Every structure is written in structure tokens, then in C-alpha cells.
Chain A
Amino acid sequence: MGNVLLQYATVLMLSIFIGIEIVAKVPSILHTPLMSGSNAIHGVILVGSMIVLGNANTNLEEVLGFLAVLLATLNVVGGFVVTDRMLEMFKPKKKVEKKEEAAQ
């Protein structure tokens, strides 16, 4: 039991440092997409929601688990789609440049 907790704590510590390290050098233009992207990533709670609903014994557990899966799905799907839409906006510039070059 104690070993398992220790193992989780190790994972926790390493993740904290990696998390901080990764965003240390992000240009401010990308702050919003980064926030939105990490928003989608914490939607991984869907995996936890599935386990909880899949293990539900009572009606109350079923209702709460169902709600959890629903909310988590909104988080995951909405998060990724919104982020993709934001990042889409960074793309057309290249196309426009190319078009202009072609026109010249």
C-alpha cells in the first residue's frame, strides 16, 4: 500500500517539473491556444468517469457516473475542437503569402 502511494507521489513530482519546464518558453501569442489545449488534456478525466460508471453499484452512483461521463466528454471533445479552430487561424497566412508570391 505504502509503496503504491510512493510510486504515485514520484509520478506527481516528475510531472510537476515537466509541466513547468514545458511552458517556460512559450511566446505570448500562443498562451491562449496552450491554455485551451491543456484544457482538452485534463478532459482525460473521461477515463476516470468511465471507470466509475462502469463500476457503479447503486442508482445514485449510476446517475453521478453518467453525469461525469457526459461532462467529461464535453470537456474532451469541446476542448480539442476549439483548440484546433484557434490554431487553424495560424495557418492561412502561409497560403496567402504563397498566393501573393504566385501573383507577383
Chain B
Amino acid sequence: MSRDTLINLIYLFSATTFLLALKGLGSPKRARRGNVIAAIGMTVAIGATFFKYVDGHPLRHVGLIVLAMVIGVIVAVPTARLVQMTAMPQLVAIFNGVGGGAAALVSITEFMHIHSSNPATYITLEVLLGVLIGTVSFSGSAIAYAKLQELMTGRPVTYPGQQIFNGLMGLAALGFIVTMLVTGSMVLLWALLAVSFVLGIAFVLPIGGADVPVLISLLNSFTGLAVAASGFTLGSNLLIVAGTLVGASGILLTRLMSKAMGRSLANVLFSAFGSATTAGGAAAGEERPVRSASPEDVAVLLGLATKVVIIPGYGLAVAQAQHVLRELAEVLESKGIEVDYAIHPVAGRMPGHMNVLLAEANVPYEQLKEMDEANIELQTADVAIVVGANDTVNPAAKDDPGSPIYGMPIINADLAENVLFLKRSMRPGFAGIENELLYNPKTTLVFGDAKDTLTKMVAAVKQN
């Protein structure tokens, strides 16, 4: 068997592991094994590539390749291991962005290499698509990271003429691609690179922080497509299969995510345009009375309950209060009170994020109720405790057609007899929208840091 055939067989093996991995990731039991299988397949593919002959000679610059890899491993492993679970989404954004950047670089470098031999038009097209999509994914992910890390505002960034500017950028990219297909000019490749970079930024800026996870999923899919385009240019089945798998599954996953928020993908991506001034709801700036109480007061209320539903949100994770929350739940249970957790599909910063965070705090899996089930439980609940959640319990999603989150399915906290709203201040949530639930007569606000408040509540409930 020739060297080339053997390496291609190994690549076939790797491509199969990727398929099995994606399949495995779809089931809670096999997910972790799936990930390990893909990692093995990847390692084998990378190892085999060292023995590959390109254009009839062995791989050159092996020292440089190893050096770049070593630096990459030294940076990536500690970053990925040490970062807080709450910061997971922005980390995924970064690792996705660099993948897009790599795909764009591969396309550019390969084009420089073959440029002098006047490549066929379709090869040029593959290169240009790889550069465009990869670069958009790179710069877009960078902005997504900045939004999630709160290096910049999480609100949609809009300015006059934004749609026209974005449209012009898109047209410019298209124009460069067409011209390059005709002329094959190298200068235009750099121009396309620059325009794609700006396009990625311009595309992400108007998207609100709460929608960024959907966006990351979309950019993830983009990177997959860019990798597939590079695969066409390099003539690699492995890259085409892996890239396309990610691209196709990513687009479907993106649609599933936006569906979980009750929105269409187009609505997520473009809703900020023109609506920035009306967003925010009716009562902006107006001081309205709310009812608030101390943790000790509400502990009495909890002691009298027979059924409590806890509605956690991202603020819980920020305050690192998952463990105290579980403690409170355990204390309540020891008094014979039934406790459930109501998990909104987009609680946290990504779908499933809250499940991960609560699992980390050893909350029993059976107590986690998905939204529909939770809304049934809430009808018979005495107390609903909202901790660090806001937009996912905002009735404006049902009642106010002018609200940016209108149509998103929510957890109906107000179905419970009483609502305890643990909050740091009266500031609106991540999406920046006023919450009517705060002014509901059933609602009692408990101000303060979630961890402090919960600790006090645990102590007070124990004493009762």
C-alpha cells in the first residue's frame, strides 16, 4: 500500500470518529465518550499528517510546525482548564474565532502558493469563500467575546445608516470576489480580507448580549464552512467532511436555539435595526413602588410553604451562589417541603448552561424541571424564588408586543402564590428591559448579593 493511500485511510478513520462523536454528543450518557473519541481521531489525523508528502516532497518546516503547536498547547490547556464555568460561552467564542482565522490563513497561504500557476476559476472561488467566511467568523467571534466578557456594552450597538453601511460592505465583498475571479489579482485578496474583517464586526455589533449565544452557534457553523472551503482548495476529503458536518449541524443547532427563545433566526440577527429607540418598555425613568423584605422575613414565608420552585438565572452563577442555593433547597427539603428548579432553555448565557452550572453544585438531576413542566409545577407552588434571573421571567414577553423579547417563552413565576425576587438592585437584566414582575403585588424583593441573601435565608430557615 502506498504512503498516500495509508494516510488517506487514516483520515477516513478520523472522519468516522468525528461522525460518531457528534452522534454521541446528542445523548447525555455517551456525550463524554463521544468527545474523547473525536479527540483520538483528531490526534491520529494530526500524527499521520507529519508523514504526508506534499507536491512530492516530505513536509518541510517540521520544527516550525511543532513549535507553533507547542505554543498553542501551552496557551490553550491552562486557559480552557482554569477559566470559570460562568465564562464558558466567551471561551467557546474565542476558540471558534481562532479556528475561523486559521481557515482564512490556510486559504490565503495556499492561494499565494498556487497563484503563479494560474489556478482554475473554481479554485479561486473556494479560496475567496474560505477567506470571507473564515475572517467574518474571526472578527465576529472577537466582538461576541467582548460583549460576553463585558469589555463593551451588551446592548445592541446601532447608529444611523447602519443597514446601508452593512449592505455596502456586503456588496463590496461580493464585488471584490467577482473582480478577482475575472482578473486573479493578488491585491484584491488583501482588500477582501480587510472588508471581511469589518463585515464580521459590523454584523455582530447590533446583536444584543442575550442573543450572543445563538450568534456564536452561527459563527461556529461559519467556521465549519470555511474549513470545508479550505478542504476543497487543498483537496482534502477530511477537511471537507469535518467542516461540512459542523457547518450543517451548526446551522440547524442555531435554528433550534433561536426556537427555544421563541424567535426566528432572522429576528435574532436583525431585530435591533430600527427598534433601538422603542425598546425598553413603558415605565422607563419612572419611580414605582415595590415591596421589599429582609432575608429573615422571607424565611418565615418559606417555612410555611409546602412547595417551592426555584428559578435560577445567570446572576446566580455570577454571585457563585449555586452551592448555597443547593443548601437552602436541602434545608427546605429536610422540613418536608417539596423543592424543584425551573430551568429556562436559555437560562445562563447558553442553552443548557444552567444545567451545567447546577450540576457542578451537585444539584440532583431529577429536581431540574424544563420550562413546560416547571410552568405546570408553578400552578401549585406556594413560593417561587427567582435568583439572578430576570428576562426569562419577564411577563413583557407575553404581554408587550413592543418589547424586544416579545414572543419568547418564559417561566410563569407569577403563577405561584408568592414570588421572592432576589436582586442586587433595580437595574434591568442582560437584555436591558424593564420587568413588570417586580411590581406585581405577589412579588417581594430581597435586595442584596445573592450569596449573602441565600446564606442568611438558610440560617433563618434552620432556626424556624
What residues of chain A have their CB less than 8 Å away from a CB belonging to chain B? 1, 4-5, 8, 11-12, 15-20, 22-58, 60-62, 64-93, 96-97
Q: Report which of A46, A92, A96 forms a contact with B102, defined as CB distance below 8 A.
A: A46
Contact B220 A38 (CB under 8 A): yes
B151 CB within 8 Å of chain A: no
Assembly CA distance A44 to B224 (angstroms): 10
Minimum distance in angstroms from B463 CB to a CB of chain A: 26
Which residue of chain B is the closest to A56 with respect to CB atoms? Answer: B61
Q: Are A45 and B230 in contact (CB under 8 A)?
A: yes
Contacts A41-B18, A71-B105, A96-B364 known; A47 to B92 CB distance under 8 Å? no
Q: Contact check: which of B89, B99, B106, B224 meets A52 at CB < 8 Å?
A: B106
Could you tell me the distance between the alpha carbons of A77 and B99 in the complex, rounded to whole angstroms? 11
Q: Are B247 and A77 in contact (CB under 8 A)?
A: no
Complex formed: what's the CA distance from A54 to B62 in Å?
7
Q: Is the interface of B mostly helix, strand, loop or mixed?
A: helix
In the complex, which residue of chain B has the Cβ closest to the Cβ of A38? B246
Q: Flag whether B109 is at the interface (Cβ < 8 A).
A: yes
A97 CA to B62 CA, complexed, in Å: 50
Contact call B38/A37, Cβ cutoff below 8 A: yes
Per the bound structure, the CA–CA distance linking A62 and B64 in Å amounts to: 9
| A8 with B237: CB separation less than 8 A | yes
Considering only CB atoms, which chain A residue lies closest to B106 in the complex?
A: A48
A-B contact count (CB 8 A): 367
A31 to B69, CA, bound (A): 29
- Looking at B32, B99, B244, B250, the one whose CB has the most chain A CB atoms below 10 A away is B99
Contact flags (1/0) for B195-215 with A, using CB distance below 8 Å? Answer: 000000000000000000100
| Min CB–CB distance B60 → chain A (angstroms) | 5
Interface-central residue, A30, A43, A44, by most chain B CB under 10 Å: A44
CB <8 Å contact, B240 and A41: no
Cross-interface CB contact of A26 among B25, B52, B61, cutoff 8 Å: B25
At the interface, yes or no: B88 with Cβ under 8 Å from chain A?
Answer: yes
Q: State A61–B109 Cα separation when bound (angstroms).
A: 6
Which of chain B's residues 72-89 have a Cβ closer than 8 Å to chain A? 72-73, 75-77, 79-81, 85, 88-89
Chain A residue nearest to B38 in the complex (CB): A41
